[in-house]
Structure 1
Amino acid sequence: MAQEQQEGVKGEEQDDLAPKTIDTLEIDLNNELTEEHEEETPDVDYSQLSKEQLVNLLENELATIREEGSGAAQLKKAESVARGVRTVLDQIKLKDREAALKTFVEETGGEDGFEYKYDAETQKIDSLSREIRGLKNAFYQSQEKEKEKNFNVKTALLGRLRALVDEEGTRETDASGLKSSWEEFKKIQEEWKGAGNVASPHNGTLWATYNALIDRYFSNRNIYFELKELDRRRNAELKAELCEKVEELGKSLESRPMTREILNEANHIFEEYKHLGPAPKEDQEKLWQRFKEALDVLYDAQRGQFAEQKKSMQENYEQKLKIYEAIVPFTTYNSGSIKEWNAKTKDIMAFQDQWVALKGIMPREEGKELSKKFWAALKTFFNNKGEFFRQLESKREQNLELKNQLCEEAEAVLAAGEDNPSTTQKVIELQKKWKGIGQVPEKFKDTIYDRFKKACDSYFDQKRAKNREVEEEFEQNLKLKTDLIERIEAAAKDKDESSLNLLSAFKSEWSSIGFVPKKDMQAIQKRYIAAINTYVSAIGQLSTKEKEQAVLESEVELVRDGESSRNLYRKENDIRRKITQLENDIALWQNNIEFFAKSKTSDRLKAEFERKINNALSQLDELKHQLTIIQEAI
């Protein structure tokens, strides 16, 4: 009996290499199944797309990966499209900025003071690209975390298995002890089977260690060698059943087409096959070859579908050719009506939507040429439309001439030195006419406004200087405003009584008080803002952002009530500088993220940079909101 047990142990030691070899083959095939059959992303010439088309393209990709559950293949394709679009966008941004700088230099004679803000479509493309990249990164990060979790689980299971093997080899047990040991061993096997995949650098080592410990366990239990043989026979039966399932999938292709769901089911069966223990040595290789041949039938069927794809590519080409032929007449369209141009634009955009909606690929060379012609035709139409709207710019020149005439009339009234109701009414009428005239060229916007405002302000300043009663009223207003500021400062010291309602009452009372002497205007305004700021800080239920908003609104209300807007101009410039700095920082951080390698350290660095970017984006939105409030006031 002892001799038979020793021969059984020796036989098991000779079988040690078999499961390792098969598992290694299974791991290699699994990698092939997940990598070899990924769909190829067709080459697309994004440089022919307009910004709006690039936005539509990225939105479609984003919708696709959301609808299909953000699988690896879909995410990879979407990220590839986003990367291609980003390259084209960088060229567009550079071209737009250089054009704006050139125009600025031609108008001003130098680059000092040049600022450029990208349009909404460019920012939208940036945002969509980041969102796609964020979804892809989140997907792979979650996979990595899951693999790391599985690695820890399997490492712990190996520790339990190793302790069980060591205990089994160093102590003598009775039948009950052997039974409990066997139950623990089967429990570890089930938990191992339930654990998911781990990162490939650890996968081979874990499987090798796992199989080695299993063999050691059975070797230590040589008295129950027959039990091991029975288990191997059972594994052979289970593997044969799995072979039959994959073979049935292959037979089912006679009545249904090959789909991704079929491949997913086959891969799921393959995972079950991997987690089964070894079969008898004489059956192990035969079973594996049978299973592999069954899988090959499925993938041969998938490759056969490529021929069908060629037919589909030709059909897509013919459909897109009809769309191209339909938009050719648009290249010679002309009209003098904005409404007609917009209607025609709606029509051609419908054709563009049809083009984009055809998701299938076309033959490479023919498709590339057709796409080039299609986007060129679109570009011609929009160039013609742009020329029409450029002619409308001449209307702004006429508005500039009208506003120059109003400036001359206001300056003539000022030069006459008259101060009576009729001249005052004339200046007011000039101001009303000014508001009724449309926009002027951007480069003259500030200078023409400053000229007109200076003439009107000078007239009313002279009017104030000649009216002593008005000056006395101004002095009284100064006293009233000073008293109000002192009450606000006193109220700020009592934080329990501070509230938004009382703040509104203070602001309403300030607005009800008239003008103050010009020499005191800036000082009293500065003191009022400081008092409001102190009072707002004393309101405990407001956040820091709400407090800043309340102070800013107070300054805007001052300007609307006729106070000096000099402080708001300074604040506007400060906000613009902060916005520019934040945009530069965000672009730099986003660029740095692209250069990080795939590792645990780089993941932490990426997370830190992404946190910085999110904080900066939040600050950027708040600054832009403040800038909008200021611009509406001034």
Structure 2
Amino acid sequence: MEISTGKTGNEADKEVTESISVLQVSEIKAEEQKVVKPEKNTSTSKAVDEMDSEIAESSENVEHKTIEMLDYADFSLEDLVAELGKLVKENKVQNITNNVNAIKQAFHVKYGEILKVEKEKFLELGGNIVDFQYSNPTKSTYNSILYDFKIKRNEFYASQEKQLNDNLQAKLGLIEELKHLIDNAEGATMYKMFKDIQNRWTKIGLIPRVKYNDTWRTYQHHVERFYDLLHLSNDLRDLDFKHNLEEKLKLVTRAEELAESDDVNAAFKELQVLHKLWKEDVGPIAAEQRDEVWDRFSEATRKVHDKRHDFFKDMKSKYEGNVEKKLAVIAEIEALDTSKNLTRIDWQKSIKELEVLRNKFSEIKQVPREKSDLIWAKYKEATRKFNVDKNNYFKLVKHEHLDNLNKKKSLIDQAVAIKDSEDWDTATEIMKKIQMEWKKIGHVPQKYSDKLWKEFKDACNHYFDRFHQQQDAGTKLELDVFSKKKELLAEIKEAIDNKTEITINSLKEYVKKWRELGRVPHEMKHIEVKFNKLLDKIVEENSIDKQAIEMIKFENLVNSYIEQKNYRKLDSEQLFVRRKIDETFKEIQQLENNIGFISNVSDDNPLVVNVRNQINVYKDKLEVWKAKLDYLRQLDY
């Protein structure tokens, strides 16, 4: 019967040994003492003993499926629990022990960090450390899954221990049958009965490793006793001896070939198989040939053993060099400076740098076994520190994304609220402002990004589709306005060309007509420039006060803003006028101060006259700016 075990040798052997009767153990030892062992060279004996130990070690081992070991240090607490649950549910316990241990280690580190933060919060709020308690649903789930794993593992071990014990008892029983067969030999049936015992022996599964060699040697001793009892002329015995000799010589030949192989690990593994075949599959040979054949097999074993020993001695020296290499890489990982990482791009660059160092660490070959755990612990601690900083950053980013999510939802609500508005000027300004704010807001969680953008785009498109339809309808009217303004321009130009006197009142009438005609298309705004140039020409060719025409042009501009409901332009214009008043007043003060510094000079001095003229010009300008401000103040908008 084939069995499997995931339990350590010491745990299994202890209970199996306790279950074997004292009588059975003593009988095995007694029979072992009867086996005549040839004298062996010390190094050869050592090599054979090592091979026996390896085979005995494998007597409890089972083939098990290797589960991929992931980098659990990068997992979140929830992902660790999910992975643990998946492993326990979908795999045999003997296949996942290493993975479970790695998950436990990663979980304890991450949960410890959470516990530390919660404890600090508790103390900051004035709590007493002895009263601190913290429960976490993820931890509860983790404990439950781990408990299930331990139950399954214990059940598995108990089953394996029982099976090992049962198999040992079965083999001891066969040894007793073989002894009985030898002691009560019946020539007609004994060979058939012997073959039946051999067949049943090979079908019995694994036994405790500490009993493997003694049990096999005792069995082999009695097998040889059986053959020795057969008469020398017994054809069946001779045929068996001949067949067994052929098989053992094949094993010897192959072992000697392995002794010359350069692949010492492969040679050693195959030699283990040969020794197992020698013990379990191939029977004894004639007594006079046993020592010679065994010595050849043992000598080949010694050579493989020595080559393997030298190989590992050389590898250990190389492994020592790898220690320094791996420590150097760990130092590079520890030196990674993430303190200045402010953006996702910064972190992506650091993550790539770490990945390069991880690959560099992995490419370095093995280190001595006694230093392996220490090196690995240093490596994991270095990467853990990096991962903690990285995770803290992305937690912050996650909070920012959620904040951005709320901001974008608010903008969507605003856009939806005005998408059907017919207050075109106001709604358009608001919609453009919303669009600008949307662009300034950063990323949102990926799973919401497309949905939010669609909602926002649909609301904006709905409004601007309506807006453009309204504009298209208004374009015909504006084109008509443009035609009428061209006609008015032609009328004014004709009056100028005919030298017709244009008074201030006539000028005001032109401006009034112009404004009442309304707006022209945006791309035809140049007609406004032409109109203002004609006004300037009228002032030049007629006795009209320049300040008066300046105010007429200003009032025309301001009134056009009012008609367009462009209140932002009106506010900007008022700020501009106030600033010009301040600048002009300061210029007047500066010029008056300059005159004060000029002493003992008559009033008709050219310098003084020039400065006073400048002051008068600025005072006239100041009056115009004040008049403009008064006009803006009296507006109701």
Q: Which bin holds the TM-score, normalised by the shorter protein?
A: 0.3 to 0.5
TM-score (norm: length of structure 2): 0.40
State the structure with bigger RCO (CA 8 A, min sep 6), 1 or 2.
Answer: 2
Larger Cα Rg: Structure 1 or Structure 2?
2
